[in-house]
Amino acid sequence: MNAVWQENSGRFDDVLRNLDVLTLRGPASAADMFERHGVAAFHHADLSLFAPIEPREPVVDFGGATVVTDFFNKDFGGFVRSTSGPFSKLPYFNLADYDWSDAIATLATAGAVLTGRHHVMFAAVRARVPFILMDANTHKLADLLDAASAKLPVCKTQSEAVIALNRIKTNRIIYDRLFDWAEKQTPPKLLTQTPPQQPASVLPVHERLKDARLHLQFNRPRIAMDVIADLLEEGGVVPDAQLIAVSQASGEGWRAAQLVADRIVSSVSPLRWLSSIGRFGADAAGWDRLIPDSKAPIWWQSAVELFRNLKSPEVLVNEEQILNVLSLTNTAVEYEAARLAMEERASKLWRMDVAGILNKHVHKEELPMAYVEHVSAIFPARFHLFGDAEMNAAREQLVNPELVCQIRISYLVEYLRRSSSDKKQLLRDATSALDRVVGARHLLQVRVAAVALAVEDNEAAAKALSKAAIPQSIIQQCLVVSNFANKLVSPALAGLAGVDATDLGFSRRVGTQKNRIAVVGNGPLSSDISPDEIDDHDLIIRINDFLLGEAWGNNVDYHVTVLTGMIGFGQANLSRVRFGTLIRKADLPFQLTNWKPTAQILEFGHKVGFLPRLSRASLQKRIGTEVSTGLAILSEIAHLRQSMAGVSVFGMPLLCGDTDRRRVQSSVSHSRHFWESEALEFKRLRAK
């Protein structure tokens, strides 16, 4: 009882047939038992679901963090723990350290669990904590998902897991349904469980396949298809070659595709799905019938559209196909394009073609030159001349919609800033430019932000937003990322802008007195400051534009743990620093403001800190002028710590009452800062 069952030989078939009770852990196991051995078995959820649990305090409080366990590795033939890569830095959960009640109470403090362990999955279910599954040595994980009809992925690679983690919020309803389903399960009757009825007329699988082949041979393809369809609907496994032959001969490829799609819809990969169904030679009209109902994830519909264009998604090799894929700007589809490009054509295609194709087409479409220059500058920087590790990171950056979106927003803003002051023309240019940029769907988010920024027409922004066929959560992220959230004041957008990021780690870390903090502005640093003097702090907050090394009189390289504010556009060579060099130079965990997914993907830290908007607004109201990000940050720190003890300030001469050759005292400076007022406020903070 209570067993997974997979791919065993028939040497014990007689024993199986004579068991009084036989129960298995899920439909995949029951299907394997029936198909290989002709024995029907009752299946139920793992019995740990029915084990008694006591109310306990958590042994460890993970504070909502994603935790990781070990997972099965085929090379080692056993379970291994990740010691490098993005998951190595996550808190580790070892089920062997807990009894069942403690394990559930402890997991309940986590935000998500990444695991290859069957019983950790069940502990997460009982704790109602979302989980990401890494493929194991059997279908034991899929057994639960199949039983609960939960369309969740079982990830085969680290990259798939990263994507799945990023989708947890989107998939929350699926998890909740799974948890509800689990709570409704009743335990099997261990000694008296009646096996499911086995129809006497049902032939073993191989006999039915033989039957289908005979129908085909005697020119009865539709009957052959019926036999195959019955097999698939009963959960039987039909070899691809036979399914393709029957479906093509019967002219009912779409029907075969639908049957297969129904079984693999839980896959994380739409292109894998497309590859599978594409092989059945389905006619174009049939694809409409494959589009699920309106509740289907957007990527699915995108993938179907994609397939119409590609015809053969498994050979995704030419320029047009890559562009088609990229134009969907769908995380999963882009990911698959990248994966296929990497696997099928190796690094050469990805390193040379993708960057080149993107640049060429951006030029072809006659985008505004300022925009083109920036896009051209950043893509080669990100994709050319990288080694494998860097390429993997770049690939993951490309498929991250938030990253792509922010880059586009950043350069759009720069374009707007440098261009005409005619707002209507700006709007037309911006819309026109954005329409041509790869990424039609996320483009809508960009347009919302751009429109709001350019013409301060929030109603128009709201209207554009209403047409965006993307999850609201993604729009929220993009608005926050782009720092446009506080500019969107329309009631229709208010809900989107109201994201409270203060609970993402900044407040806790900054507010802890024992953490020594360095706040580094973008003013000149004294030549006698050594890198160690800054690096010795527990938390280093870097503000706005900056250069490493010898620039602006600074000759100091130091680590950065938190960035705040918008990173400036005025320094062309910063494009290299922003997402690559800086990060790789830093040994300390890197925290990128406003940007949790990217920080995770880049393997540098897991939390995000940025300036709470409300506190900045409050400060500005009190002082009566716009305040610099530096002062706002310092004010927030003083508020959180109730003191400035343990806080060092570098590169902020104006706040310290000194001079700065780039800025002017006694007058309103750039961004309407008034430095003397700020210096007075800073003095007041220090005296706290």
Interacting residue ranges for other proteins, rule: CB under 8 A: 1-9, 11-12, 15, 18-24, 46-52, 95-96, 98-100, 102-103, 117-120, 122-123, 137-138, 140, 187, 189-192, 194
Question: What is residue 197's three-state secondary structure?
Answer: coil
Closest approach, Cβ 23 to other proteins, in A, equals 8
Smaller CB separation from other proteins, 51 or 296: 51
CA nearest to 50, candidates 126, 154, 113: 126
Smaller CB separation from other proteins, 24 or 340: 24
How far apart CA 660 and CA 286 sit, in angstroms, is: 69
Smaller CB separation from other proteins, 8 or 530: 8
Question: What is residue 509's three-state secondary structure?
Answer: helix
How far apart CA 297 and CA 141 sit, in angstroms, is: 23
Closest approach, Cβ 47 to other proteins, in A, equals 4
CA nearest to 531, candidates 551, 504, 558: 558
How would you class 38 by CB atoms within 10 Å of its CB: exposed for 0-12, middle for 13-18, buried for 19 or more? middle
Question: What is residue 26's three-state secondary structure?
Answer: coil
Smaller CB separation from other proteins, 104 or 216: 104
Smaller CB separation from other proteins, 195 or 281: 195
Closest approach, Cβ 115 to other proteins, in A, equals 11
How far apart CA 567 and CA 559 sit, in angstroms, is: 16
Q: Which residues contact 220 (CB under 8 A, 6 or more apart)?
A: none
Smaller CB separation from other proteins, 17 or 384: 17
How would you class 144 by CB atoms within 10 Å of its CB: exposed for 0-12, middle for 13-18, buried for 19 or more? buried
Smaller CB separation from other proteins, 96 or 389: 96
Question: What is residue 671's three-state secondary structure?
Answer: helix
Residue 42 corresponds to which amino acid?
F
Smaller CB separation from other proteins, 22 or 228: 22
Closest approach, Cβ 96 to other proteins, in A, equals 4
Place of tokens 């739409």: 270
* Helical pair 270-278 and 253-264, crossing angle rounded to 10 deg: 150
CA nearest to 542, candidates 511, 517, 514: 517
Closest approach, Cβ 342 to other proteins, in A, equals 30
Closest approach, Cβ 237 to other proteins, in A, equals 15
Q: Locate 294 and state its tokens.
A: 């309106």
Smaller CB separation from other proteins, 107 or 325: 107
Closest approach, Cβ 198 to other proteins, in A, equals 14
Closest approach, Cβ 429 to other proteins, in A, equals 60
Q: Locate 73 and state its tokens.
A: 């590795």
Q: Which residues make beta-bridge pairs with 549?
A: 556
Smaller CB separation from other proteins, 103 or 444: 103
Smaller CB separation from other proteins, 8 or 472: 8
How far apart CA 515 and CA 145 sit, in angstroms, is: 44
How far apart CA 421 and CA 428 sit, in angstroms, is: 12
Question: What is residue 73's three-state secondary structure?
Answer: strand
Closest approach, Cβ 142 to other proteins, in A, equals 13
Backbone angles phi, psi at 106, to 5 degrees: -75, -45
Q: Locate 184 and state its tokens.
A: 């409704």
- Residue 448: HSE in the Cβ half-sphere, 13 Å Cα cutoff: 37
Closest approach, Cβ 613 to other proteins, in A, equals 44
Closest approach, Cβ 415 to other proteins, in A, equals 56
Residue 586 Cα to chain centre, angstroms = 23
